[in-house]
Amino acid sequence: QQQVKQSPQSLIVQKGGISIINCAYENTAFDYFPWYQQFPGKGPALLIAIRPDVSEKKEGRFTISFNKSAKQFSLHIMDSQPGDSATYFCAAQGDYKLSFGAGTTVTVRA
Amino acid sequence: KAGVTQTPRYLIKTRGQQVTLSCSPISGHRSVSWYQQTPGQGLQFLFEYFSETQRNKGNFPGRFSGRQFSNSRSEMNVSTLELGDSALYLCASSLWGVYSGGYTFGSGTRLTVV
């Protein structure tokens, strides 16, 4: 079964807009929550990650918000650029493995 | 520094054959994991190795196997290939596999079974 649920499946945003992707998990044993960005023909690349004892982490235009009690976390992409057009995966790490969400295809219109 | 290197990049095999995929992790990384990516099932965990020991295995049939060598390089093998094994196979490496800043993925091996 899908241990990490991700939504939406796809989104379109105008250049300069904000993209928001949400994820939810069930297993409280997860101890690390990374986000990956994947371009066609490439492997996923680590974008930003957060530990469950932190509620927010920001790196440049990318911010993770983490709600431990609700078992939810989200990625915000500020000032979206055409180069951000890619598929984004949330993941949860535990027991020496990553459990991935289904992915969100983000399209940024110029 | 060099990233995770996977060979070959593309492979076409016939149903019933077997295949071996290779992965060279980032220098110094001792944890190597394998994932299968398909449009229908997404990214699914196959197995993880650390210092030549398998620490976890995903829910795949016994036809899927792997190993890690003393230099941390890893191989995975799929025997008796089925059409459904067509996928992008991704290798990822990490320093320790836990609390170590996440996994770095290679570009993958695209396996097509005909």
- Enumerate residues 6+ apart whose C-beta is below 8 A from B114: B12, B13, B14, B15, B83
Longest dimension (CA), chain A: 41
Report yes or no: A93 at the B interface, CB cutoff 8 Å.
yes
Residue A57 Cα distances to A33, A73, B94, angstroms = 11, 11, 21
User: What is the rounded distance in angstroms from the CA atom of residue A106 to the CA atom of residue A80?
Assistant: 10
CA distance B93 to chain A (A): 11
pLDDT recorded at residue B1: 65
User: What is the rounded distance in angstroms from the CA atom of residue A21 to the CA atom of residue A75?
Assistant: 5
The answer to whether B48 and B73 are in contact (CB under 8 A) is no
pLDDT along chain B (114 residues), means of 10: 92 98 95 96 96 95 97 97 98 77 90 98
Report yes or no: B76 at the A interface, CB cutoff 8 Å.
no
Q: How many CB atoms lie within 10 A of CB B99?
A: 12
Q: How many CB atoms lie within 10 A of CB B86?
A: 15
**Out of A34, A43, A49, whose CB is closest to B90?**
A43
User: What is the rounded distance in angstroms from the CA atom of residue B10 to the CA atom of residue A107?
Assistant: 27
List the single best residue of B7, B74, B105 to mutate versus A (max A Cβ within 10 A). Answer: B105
The answer to whether A32 and A95 are in contact (CB under 8 A) is no
- Enumerate residues 6+ apart whose C-beta is below 8 A from B55: A96, B48, B49, B97
Q: Return the amino acid letter for A21.
A: I
Chain A 25-44, residues with CB within 8 Å of chain B CB atoms: 31-32, 34, 36, 41-44
Per-residue pLDDT of chain A (110 residues; tens, 9 = 90+): 679 999 999 999 999 999 999 999 999 899 899 999 999 999 999 999 999 999 999 999 999 999 999 999 999 999 999 999 999 999 999 889 999 999 999 999 99
Report yes or no: A48 at the B interface, CB cutoff 8 Å.
no
User: What is the rounded distance in angstroms from the CA atom of residue B16 to the CA atom of residue A6?
Assistant: 35
Q: Do A32 and B55 touch (CB under 8 A)?
A: no
The answer to whether B8 and B88 are in contact (CB under 8 A) is no
State how beta strands A72-77 and A86-94 pair: unpaired
- What secondary structure, in 3-state letters, does B21-46 show? EEEECCCCCCEEEEEEEECCCEEEEE
